[in-house]
Each structure stands twice: as structure tokens, then as C-alpha cells.
Amino acid sequence: MRPFNWIYSICIFFLLAVSIPGLAIAKLNVVATTEDIASIVKEVGGDLVDVKAIAKGYQDPHLIEAKPSYMLKVNRADLLVYQGLELEVGWLPLLIQGGRNPKVLPGKPGHLDLSQAIAPLEVPTGTLDRSMGDVHPLGNPHYHLNPENGLLMAQSIADRLHRLDPANAEIYTNNLERFRHRLQNKIAEWKAKLEGFRGTRLVTYHATWLYLLDYFGFESIGTIENRPGIPPSSKHLAELSAVMQQTGTKTILQANFYDDEFSELLAGKAQGTVMILPVSVGGVTEATDYFSLFDVLTGELENAFSRP
């Protein structure tokens, strides 16, 4: 074969390799239940993974509809990664059942519950019943709002990618170290930004913000939903308004997927201000990844607490 024809043949082969699915370099298909998890998977997996999130950042992750299109994603997944602590209990089991994918069943390598690496807060004790509202018996599931838990989430993801794709373990390790280094630097920046506001009192709509407040040293004096998932009574709002006025608390913090009716009502009673912030990546356009989510949160809190 003449040199020109040989080179031409090689070029045709590589064009086919990237254009024909059967010949293309396979990526791991990862399904994440939230955009926060998907963001971290992208950081650790890099070009070796194709990750899709089920819940969007502007949605309440407790209340996702188990659509057939989501079941199809689960059916095609090599790895299913989720928050756990029953955050997705109302819909993820239905997706797993409908997805009919043995690779992502509980106990299989393709099934990853990130909460196993986390020390949960607000674990209830005693007897639980439905009159207490939507209580999470295993603890508060919004642990991604402590940025140091992001390091633990990333380590768990890297460990599982190593197991599923050992040939590329070194790449996952290097990606993990880059993520760890960047996140540790950003954590120092975020803590410095809010250090002067430690001890600031807030009211929250739901216990969504527990990990964020605990990590940065803020104090919650109460929640508008005194029973999770149940609208507050007039009596509860009146009592909370009195506590706000007695303690000089002015800020009501609410996730942007909740209706603000009760928050605004309380703010009017107590001469307070409602702050509506994203809980997740994708919750606002500026929160494009795990890092920028905390850039938004800490920036908004700093601005609010800096006002006279």
C-alpha cells in the first residue's frame, strides 16, 4: 500500500471510532439524584463519565415525580449515586424498580449511597409517627450544605469509580486531588468571608439549612415549619415573631423552591427580612457547580449581614 493510502486508511479508522457508538471509547454512565452530586461526579470522573441529574436545583428534592424518562436513565446507568437519609425516599425506589437495571440495585457496585460517609445531624430519638410531619428517621439529609462534607462525597465517588473502572483509577485519583485542593482553598475563603458574623441569629422556613448554619456558626432560633412539611399555625407564627423581636433576629432564610407566603407574613409581624437562596447547584443561574453554589450563598449572606 502506498504511504498516502495507508495514512488515509488510519484516518478513516479513527473517524469511525469516534462516530460509531460500538467503536467509541466507552464512558461510565452515571445517574445522580441531585445536581450537587452530579457536579462532584463531573469533577472526579472528568471525561471518563457521562453524568445526568434527576432533580433540578430549583426543585424540592423531596417531591420529584418518578417519570418514565427517569426510569430510562436508571436503566442505562452503570452507577447510581444518591444523597440518602431518605431525601429521595418518595421517588428513587420507584425509579430503581422501573429501571430494571440489576447493576444499580442495592448491594451492587453500581449503587452508591453517599450518606454512608457522613455523620448526620438532627437524628431523632424516641418513637416517631406521622403526626410529627415528614421527619427523617436517619437524620437531616441536606448534608451537602456543609462544604467539608463535599470532600467526603468526592472521596466516596472516587472509591466507587476505582472499583467500576480500575484501569483508570490513577486518573480518578488525580481528579480527586485537584478537587480536594481547590475545595479546601475555597473553604478557607468562605470561612474568612463569614467569620465576623458568627453567632448571627436566623429563622429558617425548613430545616434545610441546618448544616450550613452549623458549619459557619450561625444560630437558628426556630423554623416556620415547626413540623416538617406541615404549614405553620397562626399560634406558632405569633410565638416565633415574639422570639424574633425579643432576640433582635431580623433574617428569615428560605430555600427558593418553597412558597414565601408564610415567610413574608412572619417578616411583616417581626419587622424582618426574607432571604430566598438556592439550596442546590442549578438553583440560580450563577450556581453552575458545587463551588459557585457556595460563592452565591456566602456572598449573599455576607451582603445581608453587612447592612446596618
Look up residue 25 and give its DSSP letter: P
Name 271's Cβ contacts closer than 8 Å, sequence gap at least 6.
245, 250
CA angle in degrees (0–180, nearest 5) for 123-124-125? 120
DSSP for 108-157? Answer: STTEEEGGGGS--S----S---GGG-S--TT--S-GGGSHHHHHHHHHHH
- Domain CATH number, residue 45: 3.40.50.1980
Residues 249 and 203 sit within 8 Å (Cβ to Cβ): yes
Strand order of the β-sheet with 49-53 is 49-53, 28-32, 79-82, 111-113
The CA distance from 190 to 192, in Å, is 5
In a shared domain, residues 49 and 181: yes
Range of the domain at 267: 198-277
Residues 248 and 202 sit within 8 Å (Cβ to Cβ): no
Q: Report the number of distinct structural domains present in the chain.
A: 2
Q: What is the pLDDT of residues 246-268, one digit of tens each?
A: 999 999 999 999 999 999 999 99
In a shared domain, residues 48 and 95: yes
Q: What is the pLDDT of residues 281-295, one digit of tens each?
A: 999 999 999 999 999
In a shared domain, residues 13 and 122: yes
**Is 287 within the bounds of a domain?**
no
In a shared domain, residues 55 and 73: yes
Q: What is the pLDDT of residues 89-142, one digit of tens each?
A: 999 999 999 999 999 999 999 999 999 999 999 988 766 665 555 667 889 999
DSSP three-state, residue 290: helix
Name 151's Cβ contacts closer than 8 Å, sequence gap at least 6.
180, 183, 184
Looking at 189, 214, 246, which one is the last position of a domain?
189
Proportion of the chain above pLDDT 70, given as a percent: 89
Residues 25 and 51 sit within 8 Å (Cβ to Cβ): no
pTM for this prediction = 0.89
Q: What is the pLDDT of residues 66-75, one digit of tens each?
A: 999 999 999 9
**Is 74 within the bounds of a domain?**
yes
Residues 269 and 246 sit within 8 Å (Cβ to Cβ): no
The yes-or-no verdict on residue 189 having pLDDT over 80 is: yes
| Residues linked to residue 53 through DSSP beta bridges, in sequence order | 32
